[in-house]
Amino acid sequence: MSAIQLVENVKKNIGKVIVGKEAQAEEMLLALVCGGHVLIEDVPGVGKTSLVSALARTISCPSKRIQFTPDIMPSDVTGFSVYNQKTGEFEFRPGAVMSSIILADEINRASAKTQASLLEAMEEKQVTVDSKTYRLEEPFMVLATQNPVDSFGTYPLPEAQIDRFLMKLSLGYPSPEEEIRVAFEVKKARSELRPVTDGKTVLALRETAERAYVSPELSKYIVSIVNATRTHPDVLLGSSPRGTIALVNACRAYALYQGRGYVLPEDVKYLAPHILAHRLMLNHEAKIARRSEKDVIASVLGSVAVPIRRDK
């Protein structure tokens, strides 16, 4: 199955239960293909959890949902060891993170200690319990949701954890026509949703995407964009080198979507706001002026010289 065909099949399948969010479904699949994680931030009731659940059911992979609450413990996420009196040995009981697709629902409801239990899993695809390391299944992906409006009883994610998400998405409200479909057609479609691909196919596409060619000129272009976020007058904290790596990987996966074996400047321009915006911390003056992170990225893209296109 080609990458283009896979994307269309996944978007069509998810579109049965999530109406009018084809772009977000495509971006989530892009993150899956390049081994990244996604943070979905939006108001309640717009389909954040449903979108993640639809993706999990579309990909024939093990999936688990973790409902983050203030009382959930790190061991609930990573696992723990219990003493077996019959054998006289400690046995490992896997936590909820031991799966392929993880829905971290309302991740900012859990304490900072519990949030931190995901750090190793998201970065290194492993967990360490009692000095013993356990590898996670591949493909492995964390899809986290959070509500930006209700701050009561929440623990904001630290920058170190936000930086581990490949991209941050928002769904927005549906149009009146889409909302009619959501109200009257989606319930039946949700019960009939079936997988259209599997983890083995996703990993094969990942290997193909990693071979996409990035020219030396384009590499310098990407690094220049990331560096420009660190010196922009509106920015207190710019993108990390992890942002550079994420942008390169996402561009390679996106080129695969387009049926190309090489990355173009247009790919970088399209993906930069999705990959870099959530990694920026604006200064007080920018916030007072109501400038957003995506405004900064647009400014950066307008100031960095674009390399001459050379198709390969």
Domain stop point among 201, 223, 257: 201
pLDDT digits (tens, 9 = 90+) for 97-144: 999 999 999 999 999 999 999 999 999 999 999 889 999 989 999 999
Band of pLDDT at residue 309, cut at 50, 70 and 90: low
Domain co-membership, 194 together with 235: no
CB neighbour class for 85 (10 Å; exposed up to 12, middle 13-18, buried from 19): exposed
* The two structure tokens encoding residue 133: 């390391």
In a domain, 125, yes or no: yes
Beta strand 59-60 pairing with 281-282: unpaired
Residues 225 and 104 in one domain: no
In a domain, 84, yes or no: yes
The answer to whether residue 206 is domain-embedded is: no
> Rounded to whole angstroms, how far apart are CA atoms 227 and 93?
44
Q: Are 8 and 29 in contact (CB under 8 A)?
A: no
Q: Tell me the three state secondary structure of residue 83.
A: strand
Is the pLDDT assigned to residue 311 strictly greater than 60?
no
How many whole angstroms separate alpha carbon 256 and alpha carbon 222? 18
Is residue 309 one of the residues assigned to a domain?
no
User: What is the structure's pLDDT at 310?
Assistant: 55
Total domains in the fold of the chain:
2
Q: Domain with 266 in it: what CATH number? A: 1.10.8.80
Please report the pLDDT score of residue 167 as a whole number: 95
Residues 234, 132 within the same domain: no
- 97: Cβ–Cβ under 8 A, 6 or more apart, which residues? 64, 66, 77, 78, 79, 117, 118, 121, 127, 136
**What angle in degrees, to the nearest 10, is found between the helix axes of 3-14 and 22-33?**
130
Q: Is residue 211's pLDDT more than 70?
A: yes
* Overall average pLDDT of the 260-282 stretch: 95
| Domain-terminating residue out of 201, 221, 251 | 201
Q: Is 223 inside any structural domain?
A: yes
What is the number of helices (H) and of strands (E) in the chain? 15, 13
CATH code: domain of residue 127: 3.40.50.300
Q: What are the tens digits of pLDDT across the range 143-185? A: 999 887 666 668 889 898 999 999 999 888 888 988 888 888 7
Domain end: 201, 221, 239, which one? 201
Are 29 and 77 part of one and the same domain? yes
Query: Are residues 163 and 69 part of one domain?
Result: yes
Task: Give a yes or no: residue 103 inside a domain.
Answer: yes
- Sign (positive or negative) of CA dihedral 262, 264, 268, 271: negative
pLDDT at 151: 65
Evaluate whether 195 touches 41 at the Cβ level (below 8 Å): no
Together in a domain, 52 and 195: yes
Same domain, 222 and 102: no
Determine the structural domain holding residue 230 and report its residue range. Answer: 211-303
Q: What is the pLDDT of residue 233?
A: 96
Whole-number pLDDT of residue 269:
96
- Answer yes or no: do 193 and 231 share one domain: no
Query: Could you tell me if 174 and 19 are in contact, meaning their C-beta atoms sit under 8 angstroms apart?
Result: yes
